[in-house]
Chains A and B, each alone.
Chain A
Amino acid sequence: MKKITAFLLTLLALVFVFPVLFLAVGSLMGKNELTDLLLPVLKTGSTGYASWKLFPEYPTLRSYVEVLLDSPEFFVMFWNSVKITLGALAGELLVGMPAAWGFAKFDFPGKKGLFTLYIALMMMPFQVMLLGNYLVLDDLRLLDSLLGIILPAVFSTFPVFIMYRFFEGIPLALLEAARLDGAGELRLFFMIAIPLGSPGVISAMVLGFLEYWNLIEQPMVFLKTKELWPLSLYLPNIDMDHAGTAFAASMVALIPAVLVFFAGQDYLEQGIVSTAVKE
């Protein structure tokens, strides 16, 4: 019985990771092989069905060479993605981390209401905020610029919430003791909050990375200039005639996210749990 459930679960898990295998295998295939397999999907009017293989017949890195060496526009978009992601995360550290600390360990009138507001904002889907976002970016002349994507993300309230959950667990007695020893609030923030709350900070960064690397709605509506597009908008626009390029480009886009995922999986899980359970 136990063996059977384990087997079935493993089967299901394989279905879940299939997309990664699919992309990996496809990116290593030669042009002819790929066209042979996918022709019914690529070309209307052809007969039969598309099929797939577990391994490429003649593995080749040609598609990667094409993407990495022969398509300069790919690099531009890759860097745009990097700029948006790193810009947003750096900003969140700078602005969100102190805010989370302020919410976690200080008392002032109206704090509870303010925090509820932060939670409400973090949970609103982008479409609800879209019009407001557009209006303010238009006023600030930030439409069609990377800064117009990065700045609203910097002030996203989600990382504040995650970090708050972790800062909250730092014992008050520790802070009181440090205060008695004459440590100032800034010193407490740097010497106690950040080191002890670092799992929360990393959680917020991992969740943020996956979000911004995958950003679609904002760049789609706010960026008119194609040279500013991130990878997430570029990939779906690759012509299916260049299926090989599309596969390799998809892999290159996937790799940073998967690396961050594996490096930060524990923190990712802690972050997910912190949104649901109050310790």
Chain B
Amino acid sequence: MKRKRAFKGILFILPSFAGVCLFWLLPYMDVIRRSFFSAVGGTFTGLKNYETVFANQAFLLAGENTIRFFGTCIPLLVLLSLITAVLINGLKEMHRQLLKTAFLLPMAIPVASVVLLWRALFNGQGILNHLLFMLSLKNVDWMNTGASFGVLVISYIWRNLGYDIVLWLAGLSAIPESLYEAAHVDGAGTWKCFTCITMPNLLPSLFTIVVLSLLNGFKVYREAYLAAGDYPQEKMYLLQHLFNNWYRDLAIDKMSAAAVITGLVIMALILLLQRAWEGDA
């Protein structure tokens, strides 16, 4: 009986699994295999493709930018969303809902629709520089200098802040109100409550939020690409651009090795995330 039911469970999953194998799993395994062979002729070359990739200037630049991008954005986003969430949480129900909606809305806005705004905003003679000019501040050449990195950061924060706020709010709502009441009775102030109750209770959420923010971060490429094209300003050049450019040249050897390297890094992050999930339960 039990065995029969297990079999039925497998039947539920089978159509999905067959497609997953066909479209995702087997092709990726093929990519792993190809990463050890030369692109032309298909002879076994061991780790040579990996050596080529690690010696590749474009890969090093893109890798460095990508790491710097995450290193800047994730702490910034996590902190900003935490502050906003805590502040929103103290407001009245209606106001809270309204603000949450406003911060989440960017999730729904197609990148292609925003590109128009990005062009008008970040152009050398654009609206943002107009604002800076009115405030008697120095102009910034957003798209053609290192400041282009700032454009990436702004795009990312704008699109992802709401997502993280929702996650923090969920964490906040799980903290029992009675803890705060007890602390108030004992004479604890707002700040004391925050550091001694809110922060420790949110710690488990922190890790998942960091990992999810990281994985959502790869999509910033869409804005970067549509606003600046295949070869943007150097500081904006991400791993995603590199993959795209290698794809156009059909550099299968380099692409497959780089796909394996990036895949491994992400896999490590996912295993960490899973451990955290199980820790919750």
Contacts and interface: CB of A to CB of B under 8 A. Distances in A.
Interface of A: 2, 5-6, 9-10, 12-14, 16-17, 19-20, 22-23, 26, 38, 40-41, 46, 48-52, 94-96, 98-99, 101-103, 105-109, 111, 114, 116-121, 123-136, 151-152, 154-155, 157, 160, 185, 189, 210, 213-214, 216-217, 220-221, 231-236, 240, 246-247, 250-251, 253-254, 257-258, 260-262, 265, 268-269, 272-273, 275-278
Nearest to B102: A13
B87 A9 contact: yes
A257 B85 CA distance: 25
A22 B117 contact: yes
Given A107-B6, A152-B24, A258-B105, 8 more contacts: A14-B102, A99-B16, A155-B22, A216-B226, A217-B221, A235-B113, A251-B113, A265-B101
Contact of B12 (A10, A152, A189, A260): A189
Nearest to B8: A185
10 contacts: A48-B125, A49-B126, A101-B12, A102-B12, A127-B240, A130-B247, A131-B252, A132-B24, A231-B110, A250-B112
Contacts of B7: 108
Given A49-B125, A276-B212, A114 B17 contact: yes
A160 B16 contact: yes
A271 to B, nearest CB: 10
Contact of B244 (A106, A213, A221): A221
Interface string B65-108: 00000000000000000001001101100010011111111111
Contact of A131 (B31, B129, B215, B274): B31
B217 to A, nearest CB: 9
Given A49-B126, A131-B255, A152-B23, A272 B28 contact: no
A157 to B, nearest CB: 6
A127 B244 contact: yes
Among B5, B11, B13, find the residue whose CB has the most chain A CB atoms closer than 10 A.
B13
Contacts of A125: 215, 218-219, 240, 262, 266
Contacts of B31: 131-132, 135
B158 interface: yes
Nearest to B163: A272
Interface of B: 5-13, 15-17, 19-20, 22-28, 30-31, 34, 84, 87-88, 90-91, 95, 98-117, 119-120, 123, 125-127, 129-130, 133, 158, 161-163, 166-167, 170-171, 174, 205, 208-209, 212, 215, 218-219, 221-222, 225-226, 239-240, 243-244, 247, 252, 255-256, 259, 262-263, 266-267, 269-270, 274, 277, 280-281
Nearest to B98: A13
B256 A131 contact: yes
B247 A16 contact: no
Contact of A124 (B115, B247, B266): B266
A117 B13 CA distance: 13
Contacts of A189: 12
Given A251-B113, A276-B167, A277-B280, A95 B107 contact: no
A176 B130 CA distance: 67
A37 to B, nearest CB: 9
Given A16-B105, A17-B102, A216-B226, A132 B28 contact: yes
A133 B27 contact: yes
Pick the most buried of B166, B256, B274: most chain A CB atoms within 10 A of its CB. B166
Nearest to B100: A269
Contacts of B17: 99, 114
B218 A253 contact: no
Nearest to A108: B6
Nearest to A269: B166
A93 to B, nearest CB: 11
Contacts of B240: 125, 127
Given A257-B109, A261-B105, A123 B12 contact: no
A129 B126 contact: no
A20 B163 CA distance: 18
Contacts of A278: 277, 280-281
A117 B12 contact: no
A134 B247 contact: yes
Contacts of A231: 110, 112
Contacts of B91: 2, 6, 9
B116 A123 contact: no
Nearest to A103: B13
Nearest to B32: A132
B145 to A, nearest CB: 17
Given A6-B91, A49-B125, A132-B31, A127 B239 contact: yes
